[in-house]
Amino acid sequence: MSTMDSTAGMTLGSALERRRLEVRAGRMEQVLAALRRRESIYAKEGAVPPPLRAAIRDFGLELDAVRGQLRDRSCGARFRSLPQR
């Protein structure tokens, strides 16, 4: 599905906000992957530093929140496009 298909019923502002959230989620996924790689290196050496564990936890929570916003926006877009009775 192309971006045009998924944003056909959205305003320009809504489409831009959705795209911003998608890009943000992608960046956060990359950061989490890098942090998890570092965690696995530390785990092999014996101990993962608590700040690294905290960063992974916090980025995971923030990513969940961004994904929730994306879900809310996609549900809202579907309901807004339904005809009113």
Task: Say how far apart CA 85 and CA 75 lie, in whole Å.
Answer: 19
Q: What residue has token string 């056909």? A: 8
Q: What is the dihedral of CA 23, 28, 30, 35, to 10 degrees?
A: 170
Residue 78 reports pLDDT greater than 70: no
Q: Which of 11-15, 30-34, 55-59 has the lowest mean pLDDT?
A: 11-15
pLDDT digits (tens, 9 = 90+) for 33-73: 999 999 999 999 999 999 999 999 999 999 999 999 999 98
| The amino acid at 75 | C
User: Regarding predicted confidence, which is higher, 5 or 33?
Assistant: 33
Give me the pLDDT at residue 6, please.
56
What are the sequence ranges of the domains in the chain? Answer: 9-81
Query: Which residues does 28 contact at the CB level (< 8 Å), separation at least 6?
Result: 59, 62, 63, 66
Nearest to 73 by CA among 12, 27, 15: 15
